[in-house]
């Protein structure tokens, strides 16, 4: 396999290539760096590229292999989102308003390094992770490798763009309202938001009151499992701790799920939200495929307390934006739209803030009633095909937030209640842009989602498709 092909081969294949001596970690890393230098000026996926440090890490990986060491991710280049702490750097969160360097790596980065991964760079996000696109007035837009006119989503847009373009084998994203699933959906990747508390966010005990989780964005289901197996687990001080998985994630990705009862819902989380025909089609096609694979698939549109839950989430969202704004060292450097969302949060009455934060247990129990009769819930990932770069630029903050909530309506509930939820590639638009479905599992049950997602991947492979024209476009 040529080095360029290997850049698109994903974690499992790259780890095998280094382990077997097919390629050195240094050569693999150098090819990724060449691709970044050539391609990323058009994509804008990376905020920082750690070329010198990564080359040193790759050389160290080669020395370790020569000495007989065998680590799961030895020599594999992995990128991390800019809201994940790296020693010696401020945790920038898409802003220029953070300046104090972190004293140590996050638990995620520490575990990646311990597994032999090479940290290749830090990927872009919108300011404070507030949008389902990755754009800012000072850094410009991050673009989708499948169409430079379209967004790779957000807030982990840089992470997804990097993986889809073959600039990293995998990337770590975070998800507080869909921010792993959105970019995975629009770039043709697999992104599973794990159970709350599955992957430690240390040094933070929790982020955004428990809405935010972290996890990999990868080319394949097995790639996700390989990375997640190395980074999951609690750390001292964590506010949330997930139940232990019933098997390793790698084993789950290689295990047939058996016959499951799968509910299909096309009911948006809120009244009057349209769903594009192409989105409906891929959900129905996936339901038919799951039936063909032997599952019992039923239509199920459970009531989700739409008005109460959506209002509650909106209040938590803008309040957390306000808190995040006040945590910035130089808040005056934040963009006007970021400050405007923070101002909405500042103006919320204290009673509304307390109400929005207090009812998680009741809503969690209500939402999880659906799993009394099914094993997995299938929904759209997004309500329409990928948005264009700058599509909502002319809107004021309130109308832009409303558009974003309609676009992502099927996603935020599972951040509130904590369940694992995956974005699974599911075909293309008529223009060739990626589409996806969402699979939601019972609490603490990523394993079933991995088994079903891998079964779908075997029946309908997606990872062999790569964006055309990136290496040759001007």
The vertex-303 CA angle with 173 and 450, nearest 5°, equals 35
The pLDDT of residue 357: 79
Contacts of residue 122, defined as CB under 8 A and 6 or more positions apart, other chains included, come to 46, 47, 48, 50, 79, 80, 81, 82, 86, 89, 92
| Rounded Cα gap, residues 382 and 387, in angstroms | 10
Show which residues are catalytic: 81, 155, 179
What per-residue confidence (pLDDT) applies to 474? 37
Residue 135 φ/ψ, nearest 5 degrees? -145, 150
Taking a C-beta distance cutoff of 8 angstroms, is the pair 186, 433 a contact?
yes
Angstrom distance (rounded) from CA 362 to CA 19: 49
Token duo for residue 114: 């311990």
Provide the β-strand partners of residue 119. 78
Q: Note the pLDDT of residue 473.
A: 44
Q: Among all chains, which residue has been given the structure tokens 């109400």?
A: 355
Task: For the chain of 474 residues, list the mean pLDDT of each consecutive stretch of 10.
Answer: 94 98 98 98 98 98 97 98 98 96 98 98 98 96 98 98 98 98 98 98 96 98 99 98 98 98 92 93 98 97 68 90 94 95 94 82 89 97 98 95 95 95 98 98 98 98 91 52
Closest to 245 (Cα-Cα) out of 206, 305, 181, 198:
198
What is the per-residue DSSP string for 219-238? SSHHHHHHHHHHH-B--TT-
Angle at the Cα of 223 from the Cα atoms of 251 and 48, rounded to 5 degrees: 145
Residue with tokens 């058996």: 258
Instruction: Give CA separation, 148 vs 76, 460, 470, in Å.
Output: 27, 26, 9
| Burial tier of 355 (Cβ tally within 10 Å: 0-12, 13-18, 19+) | middle
Q: What 3 state SS string does 57-102 have?
A: HHHHHHHHHHCCCCCCCCCCEEEEECCCCCECCCCCCCCCCCCCCE
With the C-alpha atoms ordered 133, 134, 135, 140, is the resulting torsion angle positive or negative?
A: negative
What is the reported pTM? Answer: 0.97
Cα gap 251→229, rounded to integer Å: 10
DSSP state of 260: -
H-only helix segments in 293-436: 306-327, 336-346, 350-358, 360-367, 397-407, 413-417
Quick one: tokens of 90? 């401020």
Name the phi and psi angles at 462, rounded to 5.
Answer: -125, -20
Residues in CB range of 385: below 8 A, 6 or more apart = 186, 276, 278, 279, 429, 431, 433, 435
As a whole number of Å, the end-to-end CA separation of the chain is 26
Q: What does the pLDDT read at residue 376?
A: 98
Residue 312: predicted pLDDT: 83
Asked if 7 contacts 31 with a C-beta cutoff of 8 angstroms, the reply is yes
């Amino acid at each position: 396999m040529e080095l360029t092909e290997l850049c698109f081969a994903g974690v499992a294949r790259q780890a095998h290539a280094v382990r077997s001596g097919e390629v050195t970690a240094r050569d693999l890393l150098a090819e990724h760096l060449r691709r970044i230098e050539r391609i990323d000026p058009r994509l804008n996926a990376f905020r920082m590229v750690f070329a010198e440090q990564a080359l040193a890490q790759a050389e160290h990986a080669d020395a370790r292999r020569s000495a007989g060491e065998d680590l799961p991710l030895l020599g594999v280049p992995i990128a991390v989102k800019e809201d994940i702490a790296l020693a010696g750097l401020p945790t920038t969160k898409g802003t220029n308003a953070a300046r104090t360097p972190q004293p140590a790596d996050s638990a995620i980065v520490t575990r990646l390094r311990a597994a032999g991964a090479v940290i290749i760079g830090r990927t872009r996000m919108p300011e404070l992770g507030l949008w389902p696109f990755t754009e800012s007035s000072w850094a410009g837009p991050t673009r989708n490798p499948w169409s430079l006119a379209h967004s790779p989503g957000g807030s982990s847009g840089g992470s997804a763009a990097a993986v889809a373009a073959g600039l990293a084998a995998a990337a770590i994203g975070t998800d507080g309202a869909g921010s792993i699933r959105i970019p995975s959906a629009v770039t043709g990747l697999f992104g599973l938001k794990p159970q709350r508390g599955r992957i430690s966010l240390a040094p933070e005990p929790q982020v955004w009151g428990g809405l935010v989780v972290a996890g990999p964005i990868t080319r394949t289901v097995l790639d996700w499992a390989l990375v997640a197996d190395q980074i999951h687990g609690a750390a001292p001080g964590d506010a949330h701790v997930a139940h232990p998985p019933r098997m390793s994630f790698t084993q789950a990705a290689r295990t047939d799920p058996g016959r499951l009862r799968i509910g299909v819902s096309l009911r948006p989380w809120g009244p009057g939200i349209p769903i594009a025909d192409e989105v409906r089609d891929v959900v129905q096609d996936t339901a038919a495929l799951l039936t063909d694979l032997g599952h019992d698939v039923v239509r199920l549109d459970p009531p989700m307390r739409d008005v109460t839950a959506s209002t509650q989430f909106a209040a938590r969202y803008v309040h957390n934006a306000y808190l995040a704004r006040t945590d910035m060292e130089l808040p005056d450097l934040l963009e006007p739209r970021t400050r405007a969302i923070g101002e909405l949060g500042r103006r919320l009455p204290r009673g509304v803030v307390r109400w929005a934060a207090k009812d998680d247990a009741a809503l969690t129990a209500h939402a999880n009633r659906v799993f009394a009769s099914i094993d997995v819930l299938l929904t759209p990932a997004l309500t329409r095909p990928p948005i264009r770069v700058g599509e909502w630029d002319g809107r004021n903050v309130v109308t832009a937030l409303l558009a974003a909530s309609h676009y992502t309506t099927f996603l935020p509930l599972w951040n509130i209640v904590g369940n694992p939820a995956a974005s699974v590639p599911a075909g293309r638009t008529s223009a060739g842009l990626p589409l996806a479905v969402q699979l939601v599992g019972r609490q603490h049950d990523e394993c079933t989602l991995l088994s079903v997602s891998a079964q779908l991947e075997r029946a309908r492979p997606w990872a062999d498709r790569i964006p055309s024209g990136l290496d040759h476009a001007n």
